[in-house]
Amino acid sequence: MSNQSPHKFIAVEGNIGAGKTTFCTKFSKRYNSKLILEQFTDNPFLPYFYENPDRYAFQVELFFMTERHKQLQELLSQGELFQDSIISDYFFLKTLLFAKNNLKSEEYRLFQRLFNVLNSTFRKPSLLLYLHRSVENLLKNIHKRGRLYEKDIKPAYLDSLQNAYFEFFKTEKEIPILIVDLEDLNFADDDWIFENLIELVNKNYEVGIHRINLIEKLEKV
């Protein structure tokens, strides 16, 4: 397999517990790509949000948006995007998806206006990879990593986020979207699974939605 990825800028998305950060970290090491990881643990409102979503949703989403914008502005404005490959464990537009899912209508309208101003400066990735797992498997992963502020996440919340992503995919007309169904596959500890996953990622895709079941692919190998 080549030591270079054909994609200059990959954004990886997925529900909570899908394995975004793990995949990006392994991919970055595999191809010596510039790695961008979301600094989600720095959000002081997150533990309160999981306990009382209605009260803390706007604070959580506003903090996430400003921090993501600051990070991406710094890392993507250095000119390296045109020289080296970059992989990020989030796509800035996730800010709007989570906000739409979590905010009341009046709050969301205000939030959307702020988002549109900030988002206008960013270049879109050459590939958006979505790691898909069932809610059941997401909950297993969340429980396994044991973050205290995630212990109260409900299945219905994960399901609503998943629906938000898939609704967005139907509207995106400018970038290729690769959805990979993983279920309980563990690419973190199994290099064979990981290599088969990045083989899918490194293909060239036309603009639009492409969905592949990795389990079915492995069964044919």
pLDDT in tens, 146-182: 888 888 899 999 999 999 999 999 999 999 999 999 9
Residue 1 is assigned to a structural domain of this protein: no
SS3 of 84, please?
coil
Number of folded domains in the chain? 1
Residue 187's CATH number = 3.40.50.300
Residue 72 is assigned to a structural domain of this protein: yes
DSSP secondary structure letter of residue 5: -
> What does the pLDDT look like over 90-104, one tens digit per residue?
999 999 999 998 999
pLDDT at position 148, please?
82
Cβ atoms of 93 and 168 within 8 Å: the answer is yes
Domain limits for position 133: 9-220
The answer for residues whose C-beta is within 8 angstroms of residue 124's C-beta and 6 or more apart is: 174, 175
pTM surpassing 0.95?
no
Mean pLDDT over each residue of the chain, to the nearest integer: 91
Reported as type and span, the H/E element at residue 178 is strand 176-181
